[in-house]
Chain A
Amino acid sequence: MRDVIVFVEHSGGQTRKVTFELAAEARRLADALGGKAHAVVAGSGAAALAQQLQNHPLDKIHHTDDPDVDKYLLDPFVDYLEAVAKSVGPSVILVPNTMLGRDIAGRIAARLNAGLASDVTELRVENGRVNCVAPKLQGSTITTCAFKAGDYGVITVRPNAFSAAPKSTGAEVLTIEKPSGKSYKMAVESDVEEASGELGLEEAPVVVSGGRGLGGPQPFETLLKPLADALGGAVGASRAAADAGWVPYSLQIGQTGKIVSPQLYLAVGISGAIQHKVGMQTAGTIVAINRDATVPIGETADLLVVGDLFQIVPALTALVQKAKAAHA
């Protein structure tokens, strides 16, 4: 187990930011293991994306723009990843812990009879073995797992847990041959973007999240969105807000939603039950605005401001906008 393979996630012709984080981590691991860092990029536009990836510290970039990857659900992705993994031999496969990444990880782990470590936030090489550190049991326990040597290992990595380190190392770009004898059954009829042009919630450096305290769907648009825009971030929500139908479930943060790890997390009108805490407790800085000083989010937050969110949020947006204008 010496080489490291990164599964490249992309959409709309853009590589997702987490891929670059994985590329930097793959380089570090490959150097520690004495192997090479690979990337696998499949789907329409893959050739162009492979070229862009040459600005990241990889050794080999394997690509295919086979249209089957976009036409059929998941299986072609897994086939191409498997083909590269088999040609490289026992290796570590890094996949982002996103909806697509989790699907890929389970499948490729079964194909390669590999171990699977999920939602990993730290990686270490000790005695030639890769150790994976991940929060478990609602973040109450940090476990370190090690892969057995000689096997493949699949790791889903939490976005924002590592930093990208763009640097060209003259990576070789290679085409992957289509695996033979494959036929696909589950066809993708349409692919609809619901939140187009917005930053992926898991990858946003700042998340402004709203809960029951917002009282309805409008404040997400009129209060939180402008603040998130000013801070260069994305809007999230608590389960209460999603259950109430104020926002789609895709914005929900927490145990039953997305797990985020931004530099700054602003919890607005969110009480912060344990299920919510699971989704955001590894954020760099946590600021809460709530009218109740005794809310559980106070135990997770770095700063809790007790007051009226409907007055505080617009005033904060104005301050941030003013500071940005002065800076520009």
Chain B
Amino acid sequence: MKIVVTVKLVPDPNAVRRIDPATKRLVRTGVDTALNPFDEYAIEAALQLKERLGPDTTVTIFTMAPESMKESLRKALAMGADDAVVLSDPALEGSDVSVTSYAMAQALKKIGFDVILSGALSDDGNTGGVPGALAEHLGVPGLTNVRKIEEIGDGRIKAQRETDTGYQVVTGPLPALVTVTMAVGEPRYASLKGIMGAKKKTIDVLSAADVGIDRPLGSDSAKMEVVAIAAPKSREKARVVEAADGASGAQAIFDFLRERKLV
């Protein structure tokens, strides 16, 4: 079985993020790049499937990013993925959800897959719309928010997916796109052997032309434009009350809620 994990490279979640006032885009150069934390759960889920299904199963990491960032994928290879592919083209810069998902779909068709795994959200844009759009462009079913893959093989999948009120059990044919939640299990750490081995694994780079992209790309084709960016309204500093005992602490909160007409 061929599993492709789509990941997003995001500015290091621990670094300060900045928006360029001129382009109104997130500054992605000059800051460390990391795997979107949600996507590490997708890598973990893929590696679990590989363990379950045996050596005929391969895990390919896919991302769309500037070529200069491709080394950030070594971490995923060190965790145990077999190889990686980067779709990289200057023309893609500034693409919004609709263009990004179309371009990714073209590349994924070229790579080929039985299952696509991805994280449910991205850490920076927080759009959450890409997986659904990707499934549409690929013409495959999209199983989102999966917490457990119960059965997979013989061209079928059965999985539990989280809903706002509980969960559903769904079944259907492969190929399919699956997004996973954190319930699949903590992403594993790379072993020393994995880190050494990752250095020899291949990271292929594809251009827009390589994958047959024939639509306008980048910000010119984007369906939305950013018209303003601003800092959020700051809250006043908290009132701090030291509570000597439960009763006085409770009274302080109760009075505060009364003052604000919340009780």
Contacts and interface: CB of A to CB of B under 8 A. Distances in A.
A315 interface: yes
A114 B223 contact: yes
B98 A116 contact: yes
Contacts of B192: none
Interface in B204-263: 222-232, 235-254, 256-257, 260, 262-263
B199 interface: no
B168 interface: yes
B108 to A, nearest CB: 14
Contacts of A315: 246-247, 249-251
Interface in B78-99: 96-98
Interface residues of A, number: 94
A246 to B, nearest CB: 14
A189 B165 contact: no
A99 B145 contact: yes
A145 B143 CA distance: 29
Interface in A292-328: 293, 298-308, 310-316, 318-320, 323
A33 to B, nearest CB: 17
Given A135-B232, A144-B228, A145-B226, A73 B141 contact: yes
Interface residues of B, number: 86
Nearest to A324: B263
Chain A interface helix/strand/loop/mixed: mixed
A323 B263 contact: yes
A151 B96 CA distance: 15
B48 interface: no
A242 to B, nearest CB: 8
Contact of B249 (A281, A289, A293): A289
A164 interface: no
Interface stretch (B55-63, B67-75, B171-179): B171-179
Interface in A260-284: 263-264, 281
A320 B124 CA distance: 40
B223 A113 contact: yes
A137 B173 CA distance: 37
B163 A99 contact: yes
A78 B192 CA distance: 46
Contact of A107 (B142, B145, B236, B254): B142
A255 B122 CA distance: 10
A328 B78 CA distance: 63
A140 B181 CA distance: 25
B164 A194 contact: no
B250 A319 contact: yes
Contact of B229 (A114, A141, A202, A300): A141
A186 B141 contact: yes
Given A110-B133, A300-B235, A303-B256, A115 B168 contact: no
Contact of B126 (A107, A118, A320): A118
A65 to B, nearest CB: 19
B159 to A, nearest CB: 10
B225 A256 contact: no
B33 to A, nearest CB: 15
Given A110-B137, A143-B228, A306 B241 contact: yes
Contacts of A313: 250
Contacts of B166: 191-196, 250
B127 A100 contact: no
A191 B142 contact: no
A295 B173 CA distance: 49
A213 to B, nearest CB: 14
23 contacts: A12-B165, A73-B141, A107-B135, A110-B133, A110-B134, A113-B98, A137-B19, A146-B224, A154-B129, A194-B166, A196-B165, A249-B162, A249-B181, A255-B123, A264-B262, A285-B257, A298-B240, A303-B241, A304-B238, A307-B249, A310-B246, A319-B251, A320-B254
